[in-house]
Structure 1
Amino acid sequence: MAPSLLGGFTKSLAMTVLSEIGDKTFFAAAILAMRHPRKLVLAGCLTALTVMTALSACLGWAAPNLISRKWTHHVTTLLFFGFGIWSLWEGFKEDGDSEELAEVEAELDAAFKSNKGESKNKSKANEDTKKQQRPFLMQFFSPIFIKAFSITFFGEWGDKSQIATIGLAADENPFGVVLGGIIAQALCTTAAVLGGKSLASQISEKMVELSSGVLFLLFGIMSLLSGPEGEL
């Protein structure tokens, strides 16, 4: 039986929301939105996450064509259990302080300080004038858009959520995985951009990690109980 679109969609939606809330890219979007126009930050982050989700799903979809579906199913099951245990471990050892937020903020502060000399001589009035003169579409190729895109894209590369998306797309309907992932990324990134640092600092990383761990273990059990063809 072929994997269902709804199954891939719901699993991807739930997994991505819990993986991305409190993630480095979530905090980066929140901090960038405090210092730059929100629409550019949101556009850059969402573009990067959409591209990453599509690439990951394509890799997962191609996997069964390179090796047997039976093996990709077993690997996916092991990934779910592995990420579940990893997330629970991270949750239990979390002391409650947002270390990841502090780390991302320190990295971005260093980047902002390095560019401070260049931007110091530009007044806000000049910036507003340039922004009005620049065509609307060209704003999305501005340094702010590129910065948001690159920070998000390379921050997600090799991340737990990316690897899990690849595994999920190998075992579920890839179109459902892409759709669920993009919607979840849009929700999380919009919340980060609109809520800003105040929202990010109030998130309990411990609860997010524990919830993610339980969800990954649940997916692992479901995958273990079902065969490579998805039948329970």
Structure 2
Amino acid sequence: MGLSVIEGFSKSLAMTVLSEVGDKTFFAAAILAMRHPRRLVLSGCLGALIVMTILSVLFGWTAPNLISRKWTHNIATVLFFGFGFWSLWEGFTAKVDTEDLAEVEAKLNADWSSEADGAKKNSKVDDDLKKQNRPFLTQFLSPIFIKAFSITFFGEWGDKSQIATIGLAADQNPFGVVLGGILGQALCTTAAVFGGKSLASQVSEKMVALSSGILFIVFGVQSLLSSV
């Protein structure tokens, strides 16, 4: 059990770090932290990623109970090879490393502009009336926290890293996968929030894609050679 936990932990940690560095949610956390309190952005983004990791691992953990262990092992192997070659293709064909950064920044700037326009129109409304009309959740949670959480959660939904986590949890110790995934998410999100946009713009998307591609292929080879 101990070795299986360590193996799942190490694979999940390495996969998460290489998948999340330079990802759109990484850029989003970096840009949000430039305009809002870092503690709220960090807690919102990290909370979403932890929830997403746990849900993905639970889904992968239940998969062997729905279909045979042999099939889940084979599917995980195919996923590793598929994501590996996909990442290598992205790395070799990447044209501009800052495309994701520009796209996320433009979207967030558009959101902030619409929010600013709305704030100007409602500037004369009484504060007590605003509180009464606020959604239920925002009376207890900061709107910044909710925004960081929702952007990150829906940005990760269906992402390559989420599917890879499901496949890893189906073939490895789920407890180790959860621990490694959460630690990896914490490291990447903290770096994004405190490193700021300058760190995000210096990340080489090509090198990250090539590194993650090689890692996925190594996982695939190891899974192919290992017994069910």
TM-score (norm 2): 0.90
Would you identify which runs of 4 or more consecutive aligned residues in structure 1 move more than 4 Å?
120-123
8 Å CA contact retained: 1:46, 1:189 = yes
Q: Does 1:227 align with 2:194?
A: no
C-alpha separation in 2, matches of 1:84 and 1:140:
43
**Alpha-carbon distance change, 116 to 77 in structure 1, aligned in 2, over 3 angstroms:** same
Q: How many Å apart are 1:139 and its aligned residue?
A: 9.0
Describe the superposition over 1:56-78 as per-residue Cα deviations: whole angstroms up to 9, x where unpaired. Answer: 00000000000000000000000
Residues of 1 paired with 2:121 and 2:40: CA distance? Answer: 22
- Say if 1:140 and 1:32 are closer, same or farther in 2 by CA, change over 3 A: farther
Tell me which amino acid in the other structure corresponds to 1:110: A
Cα distance between partner residues in 1 of 2:3 and 2:91: 31
Deviation digits for residues 65-115 of structure 1 (CA, Å, limit 9, x no counterpart): 000000000000000000000000000011243111111111111111110
Aligned: 1:20 with 2:20 = yes
What is the Cα deviation at residue 207 of structure 1? 0.1
Paired with 2:10 and 2:45, the residues of 1 have a C-alpha distance of 22
Give me the whole-angstrom Cα distance separating, in 1, the residues matched to 2:221 and 2:16: 18
Deviations 1:173-204 (Å, cap 9, x if unpaired)? 00000000000000000000001100000000
Aligned partners of 2:97 and 2:206 also within 8 Å:
no
Counterpart of 2:212, as a letter, is S
In structure 2, give the amino acid aligned to 1:29.
A
* Residue aligning to 2:156: 156
TM-score by length of 1: 0.88
Letter in 1 for 2:62: A
Look up the equivalent residue of 1:71 and give its one-letter code.
W
Residue matched to 1:113: 113
Unaligned segments of structure 2, at least 5 residues: 124-137
Residues 43, 140 of structure 1: 8 Å contact kept: no
User: In the alignment, is the contact (CA less than 8 A) between 1:40 and 1:140 conserved in 2?
Assistant: no
5+ residue gaps, structure 1: 124-137
Q: Which residue number corresponds to residue 56 of structure 1?
A: 56
Residue number in structure 2 paired with 1:98: 98
Q: 2-side partners of 1:19 and 1:204: how far apart?
A: 13
Q: CA deviation at 1:227?
A: 1.3
* Number of the residue aligned with 2:67: 67
Alpha-carbon distance, 1:119 to partner: 3.9
Amino acid at match of 2:216: F
CA offset at residue 121 of structure 1? Answer: 8.3
**How far does residue 122 in structure 1 lie from its aligned partner after superposition?**
10
Mean alpha-carbon deviation: is it higher for 164-173 or for 94-103? 94-103
After superposition, residues 198-209 of structure 1 pair within 5 angstroms as: 198-209=198-209
User: How many residue pairs were aligned?
Assistant: 214
